[in-house]
Chain A
């Protein structure tokens, strides 16, 4: 193993040509939209790929969430009890469908998780206006599969955390300096595919619906 590594690196070092060191100064212009414009762009991009975007406020979001659960006839909702949003949800549990927790490693309940959970709600680390993307940094409270396995993914996003671009998010959140989260995921719409005749179909392997609550 080490021999292979050494052989490849030796060959590369041997071949290595001198780098001109000339960096292109062509850097994409940094955009700077106002909050309203960012929300508008984020929403338009998301809707273009069949995501639902609901405007709410810090006071009204539980009500909007309740309505969504009702309208979609969701029977159970996977949510963390310890996040900022989760605490509020659990505090007022009776207005929501039966609440489920991710309280043990996924292996312990994989089949159940895959087959019975209808929807999951998560927070988000931010949004990107340019591309219409959610930024998720799953952690102990909100595991990676929350936004992947249930057929409906509902995400809460604070408007003030919508960045102009991915570059801006990388810098504002200090990913390089503080170390990357274990898994950063950008999500732009429900799962989709155009593998058959370049015709778009939604809900392939990931969530069939992505619903965003802007607060």
Chain B
């Protein structure tokens, strides 16, 4: 065996001599990586990244936060799925956040991120995310990195064209992927699609101070599929552009049947006009059901309210509000450049990238330069609104981001590459391979009026052979390219949570100074808070036993509880009395069927426990809190239903003494 190894070494040395260093490199991985790549992505221990990267979690339903350029993972923010690490969807306080008109939905699919903007630039206040499956939009507060609000979208299915945002965060939008039967009778044959199915795009107003969302109005649209969208900027700020496919109105085998026509559409919506119509009462109030969930930062508790009405604007009654622009072959991405003049459509099956001109769109509308109508909506003439086409840019264009220097960066799924091109001249300037099958891409500030440039990050579908394998499912992956020079240069691969779709990156300086460190105890308005060890107590209300418990390094108060009986429902309301950054406590009781707790400093969280056997149950802190974390424990005694063991509680005094 040893000999064999020596032989192998000898062979390796000879091979090295013959073929040079290249032949020794792992295949695929290192090609195209410059010698200075490591230095460019290196962020020394103890120093900070320049950008936060907010990355959608796709089918996991969450949003994750990385540093750029290091690719280090900081946090997975639970949004639309339960998350044991954060207690999200497990504590009684957070459960209402996942309520919908269909009840509690524990797992959804988050595809796109939109960071709030003021005057077209990042303001570092909120990150919005969409739930695809049970249509919703969430708002994450960037002071707490917690989901603050979730609003459900009625008359929608597959909320893919969401949550894109207007120039001053006036609205985030939600365009339905699936058209569906709308109205009182939704029990219709599927093959009556063309008569009975409709699409909608919803405009969700965002309160400029609190960020609170409100379903302002919906626009009724033909029964096609809405894919992605972007708001205008600057001169086009009052408009919104939605890519649409399936103008064939197929309801089966869309893979074939929705790819028949040469051109589908980008739907241009004059949202300022729509807003005027809504205010003037032009819409119809429709009966619907949708949940609106809010997390209250002072009670640390979410509430869910079911709302029952939505204002619907029908383009038939609202002239000059909606237009269609023909766009080649099932457009996916629909991106406006930083000036707001150019709208880039990316037809998944197209051999060109069409670039539309906002000025020409306005001229064509004024001149009524139409190519007929589609379901009563005027279709603008393709040539009249086109700035030009990028010819043969690559295969399968999907998404485009911008660097603020007149360049666009488009991802190509089929040819696995990013192509840099000049918007004005429509000329390809550079192309780099991605490993492999890129979907979305992100330039810091790329969708804003003022991109920060510097990097483009690729979010890939396929990771085969890029990392050590982990069985049939591999890590998800992103790749960072330096775009500061003329040529794009790959500098780092980094793994992500599954599955990254759209992402945004924002300078750390816009978020970091506002980051919250603790919840102040004096602001804790939770009705069951124990705001001090002296306030800890246990109360019986019929069959309910409420434990007002406190935790602080390194004990619970109370930590000995007796007098619970079979048939009782025990509520552990645990208040973390710490007022110290980064010192959460956990709570677990043996045999709990539903959950544990994680309680942040100053917070109160509740675990419901229904003991099913008599005995003494241990409970302990699950978050490594201190040198005496292993001592942070207690006992709760459960007696038979008819027992006369009195309800007592204590810490340190070894009570009760009279019922031994």
Query: Do chains A and B stick together as partners?
Result: no
